[in-house]
Structure 1
Amino acid sequence: MILPTPNPQPLTAEEIQAIETFYGAWKLHQPELLDQVCTPDWKDIPLGPGQADGPQGLKDIIVKFTAAFPDVEIILHELFGTHERAGVRAEIVFTNQQQVPGVSGTGNRVSIALHEFHYLKDGKLTHTWHLEQGAFQDYAMFALK
Structure 2
Amino acid sequence: MTRTVEDLIGTFYEAFRGKPELLDDIVADDWADIPLGPDQAPGRAGATPLIQGINEAFGDFRIVVHQIVDGRGPDGNGFVGVRGEMRGVHSGEMFGVAATGREIRVRIHEFHEVLDGRIVRTWHMEDWLDWFQQVDARPTH
Question: TM-score under structure 1 normalisation?
Answer: 0.77
Partner of 1:120: 114
Which residue, out of 4, 17, 21, partners 2:11?
21
Who is 1:89 aligned against? 83
Change (3 A) 1:102 1:68: closer
Determine whether 1:51 maps to 2:45. Answer: no
Q: Does the Cα contact within 8 Å between 2:68 and 2:82 map onto a contact in 1?
A: yes
List alignment gaps of at least 5 residues for structure 2: 73-77, 133-141
* Cα deviation, residue 135, structure 1: 4.7
Structure 1, unmatched stretches of 5+, are 1-11, 139-145
Residues 100 and 16 (structure 1), Cα distance of their counterparts in 2 relative to 1, 3 Å cut: closer
SS at 1:107's partner residue?
coil
Aligned with 2:39: secondary structure? coil
RCO (CA 8 Å, sep 6+): is it higher in 1 or 2? Answer: 1
Name whichever structure is richer in helix by fraction.
1
Return the structure number with greater strand share.
Answer: 2
TM-score for the superposition, normalised by structure 2 = 0.79
**How many percent of aligned residue pairs carry the same amino acid?**
37
Aligned length: 126
